[in-house]
Amino acid sequence: MTFRTVSVTCVVSAISIFGGYAMLLLSLVRLGRNLNAINVAEPIFFGICATSLVIFWQLAKQWQAIAVAWSRTERTFVRYPFHKSNLKRKIRFVAAALLLMALAEHLLFVANNVSYMLKEIDYCNWTIPDPVKFFFAKTFTTTFHTFAYSLPIAIYNEYIIISMTFVWNFIDVFIMLVSIGISARFDQLRDRVFDRINSRTPTTEHFWEQIRIQYVALCDLAGTINDAISKLVFVSYANDTYYIVLQIMNANQEQPSVVNKVYFCYSFAYLLLRTFLMFWYSAQVEHTSHGTCRLIQLVPTAEYCDELQRLQMYSKCGASLNGMGVFSVSKRIGLTLTGTIITYELVLLSYREGSSDEHSTTVSACEPWQLT
């Protein structure tokens, strides 16, 4: 579990980071030739994904210390008197479901591109002697506008696309899983307090002292984790907001085939679902951290004590994730996020005029430099 800079995983990560930033530079060169709201999505994608990989690299260096602190805090919650949690099953289900949906989205993305290529071949009445070269040349026009076609470069580009797409999806999944882990422990603590109050057994100062110590330990853990992942939270919210706006802007574009329509509807629905789940689970950290405080109101006045008052003071502060201190993630931020999406939509719509569809089958599209 120790982080080693000289290792296969680090070398693979470094190759991905280099490729991501290289694709960013190439897409910026292309953007300089034709600036519009559609083309700007490509450099944003590579910039966000490559930067996220760097953040994950930094996080990996801290993760051993975080895992040790997390394990130490959780020891109390895996034995009596706390209820058993289905946390492991829930984390596996959420991760597997979302990553499988991401895989389906990427396969549909490839099918969508192939559909446009076939339509272009039919429109231009081309004979394609080398389908593999044609596929890569059309898929990676950003690269092959600058470099001569080469199969090794094309394969490397494909690897970069796959790794960046995985990171693009995994940012949200990672935040969800971390949030689920923290929220589950706050829920267990709340359930223990609820069971004790419901049992009508008088609570003691020692009981509330235990609850306070466990609550403070959870808040400290949440703070430690938040310090480590706040950059990812910021990147995730900015990324999802931008791409929702972009998809809304593209919603009125004509989809020439069934494959194109299926891809657009699925990718948009998946993006909305992933964003909603990421927002919901990350906001649950703040919500569940106040659950114990709400139960304190049910405690009879005769059982109030100094430890209970201390717990009440701590639980009013609670815990939450935040995006680099710019915003705190709570259910209230949903309205702010909606307003931000509307604002971004209006800004992007002002750049919509003059934007061209890269897959349009015009006469100029029948003279691709790749085939000469």
pLDDT at 267: 94
* DSSP code string of 132-150: HHHHHHHHTHHHHTTS---
> Which token pair is 207?
């009981």
Nearest Cα to Cα of residue 283 among 231, 221, 340, 233: 233
Looking at residue 225, its amino acid is I
pLDDT of residue 35: 67
Which pLDDT value is given to residue 372?
Answer: 44
What pLDDT is recorded for position 123?
83
pLDDT tens across 211-230, in order?
899 999 999 999 999 999 99
User: Per residue in 302-328, pLDDT tens?
Assistant: 888 888 888 888 887 888 999 998 888
Residue 325, C-beta contacts closer than 8 angstroms, at least 6 positions apart: 230
Question: Residue 141: its pLDDT value, please?
Answer: 86
Cβ atoms 356, 34 nearer than 8 A: yes
Task: Record the tokens describing residue 297, joined without a space.
Answer: 């109101």
d(CA 143, CA 28): 11
CA–CA separation, 174 and 154 (whole Å): 30
**How high is the pLDDT of residue 204?**
84
Report the half-sphere exposure of 184 (CA within 13 A, side-chain side): 20
| Mean pLDDT split into 10-residue runs, the chain, 372 residues | 78 93 90 70 92 94 92 88 86 96 95 90 85 90 88 94 94 96 93 86 86 92 94 93 86 83 93 93 92 83 84 84 89 77 70 49 49 44
